[in-house]
Amino acid sequence: MAELFEMHEIRRFLPLPYEEAMAPRLKRAQERLQGSALRRSGPGAPGTGPALLRICGLAGSIRAQGRTLVVVEDGGLSSGVQGLAGLLGDGDPGRVRFLGGLPPPGELREALELAAHGEILLLAAGRRDAPAAALLRGALEERYGGEAERHVLGGLPGDGEEGAGLFSAAGLLALAVLGVDVTALLAGAAAMEERCGTASFENPAWRYAAVRRQLCRSGFTVELLCCWDAALCALLEWAAGRFAAAEGKGGRALFPVAVDYSRAFCTLGQYIQEGPRLFVETAVRLEGDGDEPLSRLREAAEEGTMLSHTDHGVPNLILRPGGRTAEALGGLVAFLQRVCGLSACMGDADLFACPGVEDCEARIAGQLALSGGEGGRWRAGSRERVPAGIL
């Protein structure tokens, strides 16, 4: 089996052994993940048997009827679904629309227009009381009256248990509507879960979680999740968001940023090479896509950039999940989720809490109340307790 995780000349930056000291904490983190509700977020959540068949059947019905699935969510789905669909889907992203709980006015107007005149199915993923979901429900009620609930999706397999993540019922439904083979995706994720189940440094998730933490302790405070492939960048943006939500507590964590060098090499690349020594790079490299000249060019760009950045004081880590297949990318998602959970648990973060977000929500509600708005629609603490950043 090909090596999934590699470290390029890491002893330049971490000359002293750190693995033995970290092993007990990693073991406790793994036990916490294995024994908690986090297991419901994994490939087995709605991912096997009748539940998966129902999701695939519903997706086929949405596609056959020419409906648009409108998903209101709080940031855990859109970039990940769009990233996987861009790599694996059938090229029609318009079948699914994502709205944040407080979307931009233009996006909200378009969605309301679609609810008033088009054929949509509304799905509120994560929190049910988001303002956008309430407004869309109102538009459907105005149009359909007592029949409005036929256009609102609820009761998905596992709904409310595993949260709004890529392997939740909501995530799998959106992916299936976009033409992704979710059965193969989950098969790859399950294989990766088994690969990362070892409680030792034979586990690639242990190695990645440990070196990330040690580099952060050594003063490298920004992690660049980077690629030379624009199609991969959205998935890395999803990963950056998950790491930020899970680890961004208590004033001690790497700050994750997705970087597409195919677009930013001559801009951000200059700063990374000769700016402050804050960065560690994790490069995600997919195997060639069949175009040999382009594949050789990309490989040369990846290798040359890594060598130059390393020589200029930027530690480089490499992830090689395999090719552009559902199995390989399902494994990559599962691996990143596992590392995210281990990293957060090693830092003693509460995986189920987003106190910073809840504080902001309380202040938003207060401002709405002061201005005469419906502050009650945005209730601090009403978020379903799902593992922050893991889903």
Which residues on adjacent β-strands are paired with residue 285?
none
- pLDDT band of residue 42 (cuts 50, 70, 90) is very low
Q: Which segment of 23-32, 193-202, 238-247, 365-374 scores lowest on mean pLDDT?
A: 365-374
Q: Domain check: are 102 and 116 in the same one?
A: yes
Q: Tell whether 218 and 236 lie within a shared domain.
A: yes
Shared-domain flag, residues 29 and 46 = no
Phi, psi angles (nearest 5°) of residue 237: -65, -40
Residue 357's pLDDT band (boundaries 50, 70, 90)? confident
Residues 173 and 261 in one domain: no
Rounded CA separation 237/341 (Å): 17
Is 51 a domain residue? Answer: yes
Asked whether residue 375 is assigned to any structural domain, the reply reads: no
Say if 46 falls within a structural domain.
yes
Query: CATH number of the domain that 117 lies in?
Result: 3.40.50.10490
Region 279-303 average pLDDT: 88
Residue that wins the pLDDT comparison between 2 and 213:
213
CA atoms within 13 A on the CB side of 177: 28
Using 50, 70 and 90 to split pLDDT, how confident is the model at 222? very high
Inform me whether the pLDDT recorded for 348 exceeds 90: no
DSSP characters over 99-127: EESS--HHHHHHHHHHHHHS-EEEEE-S-
Tokens of 69: 């699935």
pLDDT band at 274 (very low <50, low <70, confident <90, very high): very high
pLDDT at 292: 78
The pLDDT value given to residue 157: 56
Number of domains in the chain: 2
Residue 368 domain-assigned? no
Taking 80 as the threshold, does the pLDDT of residue 35 lie above it? Answer: no
pLDDT value at position 75?
76
* Residue 110 falls inside a structural domain: yes
> Which of 28, 119, 147, 123 is closest to 74 using CA atoms?
123
Tens of pLDDT, residues 57-92: 999 999 999 999 999 987 778 999 999 999 999 988
Same domain, 46 and 176: yes
- Which residue among 128, 147, 180 closes a domain? 180
Of 24, 33, 108, which Cα lies nearest the Cα of 334? 33
Residues 253 and 347: beta-carbon distance below 8 Å:
yes
Contacts of 246 (CB under 8 A, 6+ apart): 340, 341, 343, 344, 349, 351, 387, 388, 389, 390
pLDDT tens-digit readout, 111-128? 999 999 999 999 988 666
When pLDDT is averaged across residues 279-290 and rounded to a whole number, the result is 89
Q: What is the extent of the structural domain holding 91?
A: 41-180
The verdict on 164 and 233 lying in the same domain is no
**How many distinct helices (H) and strands (E) make up the chain?**
14, 8
pLDDT at 386: 35
- Verify that 17 and 93 share a domain, yes or no: no
Q: Edge-to-edge strand order for the sheet containing 120-124?
A: 96-100, 68-73, 120-124
Same domain, 207 and 338: yes
- Same domain, yes or no, for 150 and 219? no
Q: What is the mean pLDDT of the chain?
A: 86
